[in-house]
Structure formats: structure tokens, C-alpha cells
Structure 1
Amino acid sequence: MAAARQAFRIFLALSVLPIIAAKVSQLWVIFDNEKEIFQISEQQPADYVAVASLANTINETGWAKLDVTTHAGPNRKYNDSVQAYAAGFVEGHLTRSLMTMHWTNTGAWVCPEPMTAQCIQLKQFLQKNMDWMLDNINTFSFSSPFWHHVRLFLEQSAGLQDGYAKMPGKLNLNIDIMGVYSWQVGGDFETLLNLFPTSSSSSSDQKVKTPDPMAMGTGHCSALLRLLPDYSDLYVAQDTWSDFSSMLRMLKRYSFEMIKFPEDPSTPAPGNTMTFSSYPGALYSGDDFYTISSGLLTQETTISYSNSALSKYIQPTSVLEGIRTMVANRLAASGREWAQIFSLSNSGTYNNEWMVVDYKLFEPGSKEPIKGLFTLLEQIPGTIVFEDMTEYLYKNMYFGSYNTPYFPEIFNKSGQPALVAKFGDWFTYERTPRALIFKRDAPKVNDLTAMIKLMRYNNFKHDPLSQCNCTPPYSGENAIAARCDLNPASGTYPFSALGHRPHAATDMKVTTFDLFKSLSFQAQSGPTFDDLPAFQWSTSSYKDNSHVGHPDVWKFPVITFNGANPMQ
């Protein structure tokens, strides 16, 4: 592990990091069953376990595209573990340059040596968590689908780590928890770093930090389900909200031949193929937005908590959020099953409101809701609530999600009422600006063009719903697609989420009933520019923030990511 990390650091220091030119590259993985060694091939061999294709189209579209496919071979010659490691191994090799750029922009600041007291506690938590997961894998992975697929995720992570560092390809679970694995739990970091003290004083003097409601207000993502007035289609869309430095983006397809678990080798995992928006080095979406071969679409917006009493439920004897997401995506065949699987071993980290749409149950033109079509799940430390929301969707014809809990139990336990009492309507469910904008504009969406326009909507200087008790009296945060960089640095705001910062809706993804059939979706990269100036690094007040490999001007068209042919 130390060697892998050292290789990682050396490559960061020595790499030349150019703007990416558009081209398609491919690599294959050969596995020697006798020697149990994985090897990379630049030419297509007669027999291989994995192949990956990469289209570097960052400058043309704002996205790179990655397709990773594995094969079980005749008589399952290549078992699930071999496939998982090979998938990570080839991705690590093929996307090495992109991973380095993304780490430079977003990860190099995470716990560098020498570590602070906060980072030492984070590392200790992650190591205890890894040890606990490995114990459960050793005990249950043969008989439990859940633990079998937790194992596979970690083996894929180990393959990614070794492929990136160009280490010998050997199936293992020797993961450096502070290396590229940190990308697999990046969302969880946000919760954990807020949990641990920043002081270097002795542990006896340290107290658990109370979650910052100002940081809470920043939000991650807007999402919308829109049932058309004639019931002919169901649109599902999500905007990622993030820091500008994170905009080195990828659209991915994973297509594997895995089984549910070893005791039932004849049953394939329902979600073996999925397409999703993602980042270099991430084995899950992180946004999150997935279309899955099981017929499910899963997406989320982040919710947080300000009730410090909940922190006691965050323990290393759990499975972190990104891992549970991918396990549920692979194993579930229905919304309820997805919620049940995701609820296992709740970590209470990277807490979200999840929307699970079962497109198998959608009947175009039918006014009759079919139970199970739309499942909503919300997580906070110690509690997960989920419910079938199909009737709600067919009654209201839309469902908007905007970083505020819907379920009263989650809303109240999270500490949201205290924020409402202190700051007012902005922290409510029904009167926060995005709720009001969705209420006004979602019913007007009658076609895909209008859906995309709404998901990219921000006219904060002129829309009365974007106003706030601020100087000037509006905020670029108060829109479906945030643009906080356009808030004046000299402005005054009641909490930092409304102010000037390098934060925006950095993309848009949307699918329809027909697009979903091929696991396809439309996507647009970069902050919105419909009613606002396009984001440009060289003229931005954040031009000194790391953005290696990024285009200067972010003004890209909507593209279709073809789930049947990702390199198209």
C-alpha cells in the first residue's frame, strides 16, 4: 500500500498535464488463471476478461466518456472477483492522466502529510471501517448478496488503485484508505470531517463539532420528476451542484457479467449494466444519477443535519454511502428492494434524499398509477425512511427535490425546525426558493426542451423568487441551477450559502421513457448560461483555484449519452 501511494504521489509530481485532445483509446485485460496475474494489452487478444474504451471529448462537450465491459467467459471462467478487479485495473490504467488532473484539482488538499489531528481521526475511522467490512466479507460474502457485492466493490477499488499506480495485477483487498479509495467515499468525507475536531489538543479536550447550518445551506443538486399532462412520458432530471474545481467530468457505462451471490451462480445481478455521470477515479456517480439494466433509475439530492445529537449514530461498524449505493444498484429489481438493500448498515454519512423510478412500471398514456413506480428514501444518522410515492406523483404531476427533507420524521430529527426558527422560510420544505420555482414552473413543462430549460434555469436578478434578505436583494443560489460565483463579493448575506463562492450547478442530466430503454440520457456540462454569462476561468475571481485540464470557457451543448454505444 505504501508503494502504491508513493507511486501515486510521484506521478502527481512528475506528470505533464495537458488539455485533453479528442480521441478514443482502448485497453484490454488478460487474466492468467494458473498464475492468477492480470496483464494489460493494447491490442485485442483472443481471450480477455475486461475491455475499456475512453473518448477524451472534454474540450468539445465538457465530458469524457468511458465504457468498461467485463466477461465471465464459458462456464464462468472469470468469476465475479476477477471481473471486479479487472474492471478497476483497466480503468486505472486508461484514465490515469484524467485521475491525476482531478486529484490535483480536488483531492490533493485532503489530509496531506503531516496529518492534522482531524485527519488522523478520519484515517482511524476509515481503517476501523475497512477492518469491519473485511471481517464481514470473510464471514458472509459467500451466502449474502449484500456482502458479496460489498466485496466486489472493494476488489474493483483495489484494481483501480493498482492500475493507476501501474502495480502488478494481483487480486487483493489491500486498499490504501487515503489513496484513490478516498474518491469512493468522497461524499462521506464531508460528513466525517465535520464530525471530528480540528483542534490539535488532546482527545480528552476535544468535542464533537456541531454541524454547521451555514455549510448545510450550500446544498448538492436539484432534481425533478415530471409526468407530462397527457401521461405520455415521465421525465427524470438532476443538476449537480458542486465546486468549480470538480468540473473534470466523465459519463460512464459499466457492463459486467456478475451473479447475485455465489450460492446461486445461475442468477445474474439485475443491475449488471448501468450508465451514470461521474468523475475520474470514482467507481460510482457521486452526483448521483444512474440508469440501470434492472429498469431502475436512481438519483439523489443531498440533505444534511444540524442536530448534533445524531452524531453518535455515525460509527465505523457500517457501510459507507457510495458503496451501499452501488450494491443496491446492482442487486435491486424494484424500488422497494433498492430501499431495503440501501438501508442495510446505514453509515449516516453523505445523507441524501433518494428518488428511485421503476421505468418497467410506467405505461405511457395511462392515468392509473402503478404502485412501485416511484419510491422516495431519506437518510440521516440513525434513521432511514422510505415510502412509495407513486400516488403523490400522479396527483401532483411532478416531484421536486432540493436538499430539504420531505418526510416529517427526517425533517424534525435532522434539526431543520430550529433552522426555520432562526433563518425563516429558506429552510422550510414548501417555501424555500427552489420549491416555489418548481411549483410555478414544473407544471409548464410539456416537452423535453422545456424540461432542460427549467433544469438550467437561473434568472436570479429578475426573478422575485430568487430574492433574499441580502445586499443586493437576491442570490444566485436561489435558483434551480445555482451560480454563486455571480453574487458580488462585497454583498452581505444572512448565511454563507447565499454569498459569493465557487459553487454552482455544474451540469444537467435528463432521461425519458424512450431514452431509458437503451440506458441513454441527455447531459450538459458546466454552469448554466441561458440567462447569464458563461463561466470562464480566466476572467473569474476564482481563476487561481486549481483547474488543471479544464477548458477555459464553459459553454457546451446538450449531448446524448448513448447507453447502447457510449463511444458514439
Structure 2
Amino acid sequence: MLKVVGASWQKTRIGTYILIGAGLLVVAAFFVAGMDRPEYDGTYCATAFWTEKVGLQIEYWKQQNDLVNIPKGAARICYKDSIYQNGWAQLEIETQRSYPDWVQALGAGMLEGSLTWNNIYNQWLNTIGSACDKDENAQNFCTWLRDTISANYFATKQRALARADHDQYWHQIALYFFQLEGLEAGFKRGASRSRSDVEEEIPFVDFLLMNSAADIQDLKIYYENYVLKEGNGGQSEKNFFLPSATMFTKIFQSEANSGWQLLFGHSSAGSYSSMLRIQKRYKFRYHFSPDQRSNTVPGVDISFTGYPGILGSTDDFYIVKGRQVQSIVAGVAIKNENLDLWKNVPVTEAIPLTARVMAANRISQSRRTWARAMSRHPFTGNKQWVSVDLKKLNALEGSQHSNGGEVENEIDIPTKSEVSADGLIWVVEQLPGLLHVKDVSNSFLNGNTTWVANGVPYFDEILEASRVPAENFSMDLPDGDELNTLESVEKYLRLNGFRGDLLGDESVPYGNIDIKLFSFNAKRGLSDYHAFAGPIFMRFHHNQNEDTLTSESHVVVDLATELEVITERRPVRNDMRAIAMRRGSGPFKWSTVVERIPGAEHEGHPDEWDFDHVSPKWAW
């Protein structure tokens, strides 16, 4: 046809090529449509590259399945927001030791801020933003708090930079602030990149506030009693009487020659508004000093349960690993009625608890050195810590573990009366201006091998100083033989849980908001860890009716038996005025409590918190 209308042979050939190309594209389209497309699980990754000439640049890799081969750069991150699926987001960051430590810290912060910016904003809105605008008193307190923490930040960072060359602890404090500054920069970058118009900007001082969550309650007590000078003469009932976190530790030699085992449980207590949760893993290859020729710190690999925008676990739960260390570090808030302790505390010199703990986690090879690091600046953040050295637990087996497997020594495993494991377990307790530390390994192993901590001081010296009536916070402990599995520890923590939304007309949006469970078998060198998110509730056991065991077995829920057990082991305590685990409590749902607890912000939260446990699978 082209020839008929007078087209040249060259034009005819071009037209033919176009038709052939179009036909090939159609065939290719059918072929591509028939191919299997990759399925992604919502994991997003990015890399921070750095050169002295250009500085830090971030490359985003969108959704990824092959996490192992994400380019390393100075720092790399993979992040998955699965809060609506299982109650947790998951974040993993790795840095490389060939880069200056400040580059690693700044790059890690920028990556985290840019990928988690939306949850950071929601967390700030639900906590700092809403709390500081609640009323005039709250506004006045937040104004004083922001001024105090800002001044503290500038002074502390300058001290850290000045001493970093000669003091490994201060070097880590400086890196904490570099990471925090990177987090704010990354947040702004992420919001801008997503073309999202956030209703309010988050000032840098509020990033400082979010990372001082463990200190703010103490600072509020100081403010009300020593700044306003018209305090009520004691902590309010709400601050003091609401239960703290619960921590369960048991080390025992199991029967059937299974070796020495650790069972550990932890249930955080906090505001329901704070329940945007992240499982984090920081694999930071920092050095002992700014000099890159110095050794890498022992605690390179730190996993913890945390929150958006916060660089440590304000839950106070850490798993710390490295070439020279393998440990569990966890804590609960200590109750304190002695306001006189604040008289000699230099609040303006306080270092945020999160920074202190992360520094101790990184530079400490033993539990003794961890306790020594924590003894510096014990001002705010009243806590009771337990730190367990899993390598010492390995030593009890009389065996040696290596990458090539397990080598048995020809010695008998010591009996309970013969156990000596100095350095296995250290307890650290802090009140304003006071700190007491002790290696409790031998007394623990050769005495009562089960310990439950719920905010009452362990040491007599700290208990006396706190003026806490310990009998008001006792918890019944079942026979030791009943708590030999993670399932039994989980049930125990649930039985002793607190749900502030179940207090009827006096309901408060506060309670135990998670459960973390960890076990370690020293003989096999195996560990198990999983965590539940959300206010805890009783998961009643189901018993099958033996008379109706068919393909569709009839299931009977033995509620009466379960409730009887609860009543026996958890009497109503005077300070709580309710058992908080009443019949039919079930999973927490925001939609059923908003009328009873108005004003509790929960932007970005799922409505119902009925999730199974999560065990993170890390790529690096």
C-alpha cells in the first residue's frame, strides 16, 4: 500500500520495521504477563554512602527480598512496618568499622529517621505532643523540661567531645548524640521525600524528650517539689501506686542431663498511647575511641524492644552480643517515696538513661564492667537492673563452644552445692544520687534460683533509702518446679499482669503493654526469644472433651478453673483496687475504651491488640 501511494522503498522498509517491532512488543507483553512477579513482604531498605568530599548520601532500594546483598556503604538499614499484622515493626541497621565512628552514628540515625518518619511522627503526637498540650500545668512543665534538657544536651555533648579521646564511656555518649542528630535529619528527609505535609514540625528538643522518656517521670517529681516549691509533699498516687514492669529470672540445672538453662521473662509497664512498637537490632562497629586504629567495642550487636524515634529500649530489655560478649540486660523502674534524695542531685548534669545504658552495653566485656559503667552519673532514671553473662553460663557446663561445634570436656557437671560462677549475674540498683551494685551469682545459684522483680529494691540499703513498704508490692511465686518452660513463665506474667483499662470508673490508659520471653540452654548453646505486643490478657487453655474426640473435636474452655487460679495467686492489692484480670477481659480494643479513658491518643495503632508472638529473623 505504501508503494501504491508513492512512498519510497526506504520509507517502505522503515514502516515494515515499525510493524514488526510493534508485533514483537505485543508478544513480549504476553510473555511478561505470564511470568511470575516477585512477591514482597513490605521490607524497605536503604544505604548511607560517605566520602570526605561529598559527605553522606542515601540510596533507597524500595522493597527488597534479598536483604543479605543490600550494599553496605557506611551504614545500611532494612525496615518492615507490620504493626497492624503482629503488633511490631522490625528494624535492622548495620555499620562498617572502616568508617569513622561519627559517620557510622550519623548515617545510622539518618537511615532510621528517613524510613520510620511516619511512626516517629505518630509516636510524638501520641505522647509528647498530646501530653504537653493537655492543660496549663502540663504546658508549664514542658516549657521547663525543654529548657532543662536543651541546656543539658549542649553541655553534655561538649563534655563528651572533649573527653572522647581518652575516655571510652564519653566517646559512646558523643556517638549517641551524633545518632540522635542524624535521626532528626533523617526524619525531615523522609517526610519531605514522601511529600507529606505533617501538621506540626517536631523540634529537635522533642527528639531529646522522646529519648529521655525514662528520665521525665523523675524530672517531673523534681519539678513539682523543688522548682515550683509548692509540691504536694510526696508523689501522687498515680505516679507511685501504678505497678511497674515485671521481670522474671530463673537459672537451673534441668533433669534428664539437659544442662544449665536460663528462663527470662519481662513485661513492660507504660502508657497505652506509647504502643507503637519496634523490634530493633543495631549492629554498630564502633571503636573504643575516635581513633579508627583502636579496637572495636565488645558489644557490637544489640537487639532490643523499642519505640519509633528512640535510640534505646525504654522497655529496658536488651540482648547484647559480640565476639567477646553474650548477655541479657533488663530492668524495671524502682519505686521511691524518699523525696529528700533529690536535694543533692545535680539535675542539669544528668545524662539520659538511654545514653548511659547503650554506652555500657557497647564498652563492657563483663558484667562487672557493665555495672561499673552504669555507676557513672546515677541521677535520673531510677531502675533495678539484672545483667546475665551467658558465656559464664556456658562455663558451668564444663564444655567449650566454638564455631565448629561443641567440644565436651571430661569433667562432671557441678552439683548445685558446688556451683561457683563469679560474674554470671550482677544486680544494679539506682535511686537519685545513689547506686548499689553486687555480683549475686553464687548466692543466686546456691540459694533461690528464681527471682521476680516488680519495682521493690533488692538490696536492703536501697530499700531503706527508698522508704518503700515492700509488703504492699509482693507477688506470689509458684513452686519452682512449675516454672520450667517459657510457656509457664508467660502464663505467670499474664496472671500477675495489670490492665488499667479494667478499673471501671477509675480506668487509666496504663498497664503491662507487652511480654518478652527468652531462654538459653548452655549445653546446646541454643536460645529462644519471642515477644507479644499489646496490653496483656489471659489466654485461657482449651481442654478437649475426651468423650467427643471426633474430626471436629468439641473444645471446652475451663474458665472457672483458670479464674480460681488467678484468685489464689493474685489477690487484689490495696494500691490497685482491682484485680485487673477479671472475667471476660479479653484483648484490649481502643474502640471499647475511648469513652472511659478520653484523651488517650492512639494515632497509627491497630484497634484490637490480639496478636501472637513474634520472633525476629535478622538478615545480618
**TM bucket, shorter chain:** 0.7 to 0.9
State whether residues 118 and 198 of structure 1, in contact with CA within 8 Å, keep that contact through their aligned partners in structure 2.
no
Q: Which amino acid aligns with 1:360?
A: K
State whether residues 248 and 550 of structure 1, in contact with CA within 8 Å, keep that contact through their aligned partners in structure 2.
yes
Matches within 5 A, 1:312-461: 312=343, 313-346=345-378, 348-362=379-393, 363-364=396-397, 366=414, 367=416, 368-394=419-445, 395-416=447-468, 420=469, 428=470, 431-433=471-473, 435-437=474-476, 439-440=477-478, 442-457=480-495
Matches within 5 A, 1:511-522: 511-514=518-521, 521-522=529-530
Q: Given the alignment of the two structures, is residue 192 of structure 1 paired with residue 219 of structure 2, yes or no?
A: yes
Q: Which amino acid aligns with 2:449?
A: M
In structure 2, distance between residues paired with 1:86 and 1:315: 31
Question: What secondary structure does 1:372 align onto?
Answer: coil
In structure 2, distance between residues paired with 1:542 and 1:442: 39
Deviation at 1:94, TM superposition (A): 0.5
State whether residues 146 and 209 of structure 2, in contact with CA within 8 Å, keep that contact through their aligned partners in structure 1.
no
In structure 1, distance between residues paired with 2:252 and 2:113: 42
Q: Which has the larger radius of gyration?
A: 2
State whether residues 360 and 373 of structure 2, in contact with CA within 8 Å, keep that contact through their aligned partners in structure 1.
yes
Shift of the 49–210 alpha-carbon distance from structure 1 to 2, 3 Å rule, reads farther
The one of 53, 60, 81 equivalent to 1:34 is 53
Q: Give the match for residue 182 of structure 2.
A: 159
Shift of the 41–534 alpha-carbon distance from structure 1 to 2, 3 Å rule, reads closer
Matches within 5 A, 1:552-567: 552-562=607-617, 564-565=618-619
Matches within 5 A, 1:229-244: 230=254, 232-244=260-272
Q: What's the CA shift string for 1:264-315, capped at 9, x where partnerless?
A: 7341111111111001111000001000012121000001322221112142
Question: What secondary structure does 1:178 align onto?
Answer: helix
Q: Give the match for residue 259 of structure 1.
A: 287
Shift of the 190–344 alpha-carbon distance from structure 1 to 2, 3 Å rule, reads same
Please identify, of 524-533 and 52-61, the stretch whose mean Cα deviation from structure 2 is larger. Answer: 524-533
Q: Give the match for residue 6 of structure 1.
A: none
The one of 168, 175, 191 equivalent to 1:145 is 168
State whether residues 167 and 289 of structure 2, in contact with CA within 8 Å, keep that contact through their aligned partners in structure 1.
yes
State whether residues 195 and 210 of structure 1, in contact with CA within 8 Å, keep that contact through their aligned partners in structure 2.
no
Please identify, of 520-529 and 289-298, the stretch whose mean Cα deviation from structure 2 is larger. Answer: 520-529
Deviation at 1:46, TM superposition (A): 5.7
The one of 133, 156, 159 equivalent to 1:133 is 156
Question: What secondary structure does 1:403 align onto?
Answer: coil
State whether residues 141 and 223 of structure 2, in contact with CA within 8 Å, keep that contact through their aligned partners in structure 1.
yes
Shift of the 177–92 alpha-carbon distance from structure 1 to 2, 3 Å rule, reads closer
In structure 1, distance between residues paired with 2:169 and 2:273: 34
Matches within 5 A, 1:94-105: 94-105=115-126
Q: Which amino acid aligns with 2:179?
A: Q
Deviation at 1:391, TM superposition (A): 2.2
Give the unaligned 5+ runs of structure 2: 1-39, 63-68, 193-201, 398-412, 541-584
Q: Given the alignment of the two structures, is residue 25 of structure 1 paired with residue 48 of structure 2, yes or no?
A: no
Shift of the 224–31 alpha-carbon distance from structure 1 to 2, 3 Å rule, reads same
State whether residues 269 and 331 of structure 1, in contact with CA within 8 Å, keep that contact through their aligned partners in structure 2.
yes
State whether residues 195 and 208 of structure 1, in contact with CA within 8 Å, keep that contact through their aligned partners in structure 2.
no
The one of 597, 605, 608 equivalent to 1:550 is 605
In structure 2, distance between residues paired with 1:168 and 1:547: 20
State whether residues 22 and 60 of structure 1, in contact with CA within 8 Å, keep that contact through their aligned partners in structure 2.
no
Q: Give the match for residue 27 of structure 2.
A: none
Shift of the 85–103 alpha-carbon distance from structure 1 to 2, 3 Å rule, reads same
In structure 2, distance between residues paired with 1:238 and 1:384: 22
In structure 2, distance between residues paired with 1:542 and 1:176: 28
In structure 2, distance between residues paired with 1:221 and 1:339: 21
Deviation at 1:168, TM superposition (A): 13
In structure 1, distance between residues paired with 2:171 and 2:178: 11
Deviation at 1:392, TM superposition (A): 3.0
The one of 113, 119, 123 equivalent to 1:92 is 113
State whether residues 72 and 95 of structure 2, in contact with CA within 8 Å, keep that contact through their aligned partners in structure 1.
no
Shift of the 245–110 alpha-carbon distance from structure 1 to 2, 3 Å rule, reads closer
Q: Which amino acid aligns with 1:502?
A: P
The one of 314, 333, 337 equivalent to 1:286 is 314
Q: Given the alignment of the two structures, is residue 219 of structure 1 paired with residue 243 of structure 2, yes or no?
A: yes
In structure 1, distance between residues paired with 2:472 and 2:421: 30
Query: Structure 1 stretches (4+) deviating beyond 4 angstroms?
Result: 43-47, 112-115, 207-211, 514-520
Deviation at 1:446, TM superposition (A): 1.7
Question: What secondary structure does 2:478 align onto?
Answer: helix
Deviation at 1:123, TM superposition (A): 2.4
Deviation at 1:26, TM superposition (A): 0.9
Q: Given the alignment of the two structures, is residue 481 of structure 1 paired with residue 518 of structure 2, yes or no?
A: no
In structure 2, distance between residues paired with 1:455 and 1:512: 15
Question: What secondary structure does 2:297 align onto?
Answer: coil
Q: Given the alignment of the two structures, is residue 535 of structure 1 paired with residue 606 of structure 2, yes or no?
A: no
Deviation at 1:198, TM superposition (A): 9.3
Shift of the 514–280 alpha-carbon distance from structure 1 to 2, 3 Å rule, reads farther
In structure 1, distance between residues paired with 2:153 and 2:332: 26
In structure 2, distance between residues paired with 1:296 and 1:47: 27
Question: What secondary structure does 1:548 align onto?
Answer: coil
State whether residues 296 and 333 of structure 1, in contact with CA within 8 Å, keep that contact through their aligned partners in structure 2.
no
Deviation at 1:141, TM superposition (A): 0.8
In structure 1, distance between residues paired with 2:362 and 2:528: 18
Shift of the 518–445 alpha-carbon distance from structure 1 to 2, 3 Å rule, reads closer
State whether residues 517 and 530 of structure 2, in contact with CA within 8 Å, keep that contact through their aligned partners in structure 1.
yes
State whether residues 195 and 209 of structure 1, in contact with CA within 8 Å, keep that contact through their aligned partners in structure 2.
no
Count of residues in Structure 1 that have an aligned counterpart in Structure 2: 486
Deviation at 1:317, TM superposition (A): 1.8
Q: Which amino acid aligns with 2:389?
A: D
In structure 1, distance between residues paired with 2:77 and 2:528: 18
Shift of the 168–279 alpha-carbon distance from structure 1 to 2, 3 Å rule, reads closer
Q: Given the alignment of the two structures, is residue 501 of structure 1 paired with residue 508 of structure 2, yes or no?
A: yes
Q: What's the CA shift string for 1:235-278, capped at 9, x where partnerless?
A: 11210111111111110111111112235734111111111100
Question: What secondary structure does 2:484 align onto?
Answer: coil
Shift of the 244–110 alpha-carbon distance from structure 1 to 2, 3 Å rule, reads closer
In structure 2, distance between residues paired with 1:45 and 1:399: 43
Deviation at 1:335, TM superposition (A): 1.1
Shift of the 269–403 alpha-carbon distance from structure 1 to 2, 3 Å rule, reads same
Deviation at 1:377, TM superposition (A): 0.5
Q: Give the match for residue 309 of structure 1.
A: 340
Q: What's the CA shift string for 1:57-96, capped at 9, x where partnerless?
A: 1122111111111113xxx2x1110000000000000101
In structure 2, distance between residues paired with 1:110 and 1:517: 45
In structure 2, distance between residues paired with 1:71 and 1:252: 18
Q: Which amino acid aligns with 1:525?
A: A
In structure 1, distance between residues paired with 2:103 and 2:55: 9
